[in-house]
Amino acid sequence: MSSNNEQSITLPTGKTIKVNTGLFINNEFVDSIDGKRFETINPATEKVITTVAEALSNDVDKAIDIATETYVKVWSKVSGYDRGRLINKLADLMERDIDELAAIESLDNGKPFLLTKAVDIQLSIKTYRYYAGFADKINGELFQTESDKFDFTQREPYGVIGAIIPWNFPIMMQATKLAPILACGNTIVLKTSEFTPLSALKVAALIKEAGFPKGVVNILSGYGPTAGAAMASHMKLRKITFTGSVPVGKSILKASAESNLKKVTLELGGKSPNIIFADSDIDEAVKWAHMGIYFSSGQVCVAGSRIYVQDSVYDEFLEKFKKRAEGTKVGDPFKEDTFQGPQVSQIHYNKIMSFIEAGKKEGATLLIGGEREGEKGYYIKPTIFTDTNEKMSIMQEEIFGPVAAISKFSTVEEVIEKAHLTRYGLAAAVFTKDITRALKISKELNAGTVWVNCYGLYEPNVPFGGYRESGIGREGGESSLNEYTQVKSVQVHLGKFMF
């Protein structure tokens, strides 16, 4: 049923903002069918921000039924031009409310406000604008065959697509899913993480304001084992896209196989190697390596958590990297000089600390960090391990926190072999002034993205995804158009029966 779910939230700055906290279904914020709600916590203070409606399987059914009816009766008849116009209007509204969006994201996730505004929100807006331009340019191909026939293909939407996004980049992940899905002509049911539901609900209000028809976009706050599992096994969804951990990705793939063989796009974890050669600009390499592991509190799927440094410059790099890490400003996300905020939750804080303890027990040297920062909030000091080897858990598992593990290497062959000693293949980086070496190594690395003399850069027009257990499919660029449309071949015979 419909309900007044708008709640006032006071920011650390003293400003009060209003956020709708219901399930966004059919362009309305409604209570869940069972009336359940859950708390969302400010990770900087450990205090409750507010409560939001919790979606269960019956709410998932309701949202998918409405999205299905909307696709058939309304959205499938909207032109690409008009879809693009609506997506651009949403981007306009996000630009108008950029400070409020950044504040909500910082409050709910712990990201520094200024970085969130400059990076996360701006890239989200850029993503919407990029795909808005594609909405009326999704074309098939014409094939020259026999003289008395012609063949062509057309790209068609799936209909209703389910999307499940993580907590580490909530608003960016929402844009990464919504923008191409809508541009391709699908409707969507999107589930946010239980840790960070608020920014998606703010965007939902802007979707309604932009004029999207009822039922095109439906956004549910809920838990993976309930709402997420219901989506993964739902018989009316023909496609699901998920960003998150490898174990959950595998469970979604299994649910797809056991239900209706819905198509699946998975962007999963990483344990990315960052390779520093002796001929690189060491000062620049230090800056990028620091960004690669400590940005967003290390809660980044492509985090450069394994840093390999050529032996002849190892001591120099380590000294400078240690100094920069020790100078990292950790603290209140709403202070201007903060670079690293808290981890997203107590659960995740505990997980990171358990990996740090494992690193010490397995024989790695804890150079700096490895402990709590401050007395409240889920803060962890920037951490560096040395004397590591590829058998250690800190070199194998995705810690998803501000923990760097540094190793020496001597030769190209040695570092390539070490880089591949995990089950992941999401990203990698190479620092060298030798462009021939950089291109050769980029080709040899089993990773979906390789950065050269930089780290962690993202553009919405560039494909993104993983090799090996880091995922299936690609998002970003024109690749997303292939992920969210299906190809139909049409063969037209102009002559008489040939046999």
Task: List the CATH number of the domain containing 342.
Answer: 3.40.309.10
CA dist., res. 315 & res. 309, Å (int): 9
Residue 3's pLDDT is 52
At 460 the three-state DSSP class reads: coil
Residue 286 has pLDDT above 60, yes or no: yes
Sign for the CA dihedral angle at 429, 431, 432, 433 comes to: positive
Is 310 found in the same domain as 250?
no
Residue 12: pLDDT band (50, 70, 90) is confident
End-to-end Cα distance, the chain: 62
Residue 1: pLDDT band (50, 70, 90) is very low
Residue 4: pLDDT band (50, 70, 90) is low
Residue 494 has pLDDT above 90, yes or no: no
Is 369 found in the same domain as 322?
yes
Residue 19 has pLDDT above 50, yes or no: yes
Distances (CA, A) of 434 to 274, 276, 312, 449, 452: 16, 12, 16, 19, 10
**Residue 474 near residue 267, CB atoms below 8 Å:** no
Residue 75 has pLDDT above 60, yes or no: yes
Least confident of 41-45, 144-148, 223-227, 394-398: 144-148
**Residue 132 near residue 183, CB atoms below 8 Å:** yes
Q: List the CATH number of the domain containing 20.
A: 3.40.605.10
pLDDT tens for residues 225-274?
A: 999 999 999 999 999 999 999 999 999 999 999 999 999 999 999 999 99
Is 288 found in the same domain as 158?
no
Is pTM beyond 0.75 here?
A: yes
Residue bearing tokens 């409560």: 51
198-210 vs 170-183: helix crossing angle, rounded to 10: 30
Is 285 found in the same domain as 249?
no
Is 371 found in the same domain as 483?
no
Q: How many domains does the chain have?
A: 2
* CA-based nearest residue to 132, from 188, 186, 85: 85
Residue 317: pLDDT band (50, 70, 90) is very high
* CA-based nearest residue to 384, from 393, 375, 394, 376: 394
Which structural domain, as residue segments, surrounds residue 407?
273-459
Across all residues in the chain, what is the average pLDDT?
A: 96
Is 251 found in the same domain as 127?
yes
Is 169 found in the same domain as 183?
yes
| Residues forming the active site | 267
Where are any strands of DSSP class E within 123-246? Answer: 142-143, 149-157, 160-164, 187-192, 217-221, 239-243
Is 329 found in the same domain as 303?
yes
